A and B are shown apart, each in its own frame.
Chain A
């Protein structure tokens, strides 16, 4: 019984983390039709900044890490993606590839290829006992942070002018512009939100693993991509659900798969992604986009 509960907590925690990754991808894809492969490097660089400032009081560390994500995301938009605004999503994927490679190699040039350990929020890995289940504090933090971000994002999107503009631009970018929504500003806003989510993911990932490596962002961005596919590309609620589902299924497979198949759980998971593209390309929660955008 407590075993089951333990797995459920694991699943929910991993699902929350994956939801953050997927949202970071989806918010940009929705507005700009840009599939940002370099989202992983937003996470990586933020994590390295965390390493540098980890001696400071923790709230300051968190703020600086998030700020790194936002600033770097804005720079990416300004210096890379803005030049290919008219390109199709497959081309933006290649641009993202190039930006990702560039940042990663510069990172290797400056900090070396070897992984580093970071002493940050180590106490959060200690478990607390709730109703007989021992739950690592970090899992609770992850779920809590995700919940707060989801609520915050929902409020932003429904209550503020810029949020309504973001949703409108996701549905029909051209029409939003015809009503006076400034395209550069709205895309930059989407990147800033994505950067904030990447910074958050960096904090949580670093606290969880305690190690950093220049290539740590790549698996994260793949998860984000595939989760948005499962949830429905361009749909923010879809991305959150897709990430959550991907996390839960990952944990379930760890628990339920027979030993022989266990090493192939990623393959199985990504085969499901391809199947999803084939049989339900609109995802679990389809985005409402005007036909001409897709």
Chain B
């Protein structure tokens, strides 16, 4: 599997297996995952709940250890979380006792960046995610979409090479989600980061991804990887968009079943 026209391979997943065992029961969460993601690529992991996509992301980000196999980032095996690869969580993971500004400054504070520089960097990314004027607010005063913007700004502020996103828009309403998707594509275009994006939303994956890994459950594995060559911004109702959607449906349900459903 190549990585669709990207010169440098950023992330390589090699023969990755993950077993969860509790008492006598074994759950095969991931089996024989092989994957390569190019530098600067927007890569989506798409699948139903329980297909192991979040587990795969957690292993890539260093939060969990694989049972077998390994993840290489820039040629080095990843063993622990690292500020060069930042994760954005579905439930935000932002600090309720800190204001928006202080949340975005957190990673810089830990890095030891001095106060005024920290403030300037944070301001820049707060502006980028469209939260100007909310710097002094606390998270409980913000909507779900705004909280996720804070989380994204906080991730971008430490200038990471990779951003891992674990169903980041799963908890916001459908219209807000579309707006956030549009803005994420714009930010990705400007900031040149490699993004690994986990979702169960087919439209979201097609709208965002350069490539989409379609995953199936029990055991969790990658069924196929689809390339999305449409230029951005993508039109959600365009015929090529729907064409890819049909391809993905057939990956999940089989082609004949899919066409039968269309006839009905």
User: Do A and B share a complex?
Assistant: no
A: which residues have CB within 8 A of B? none
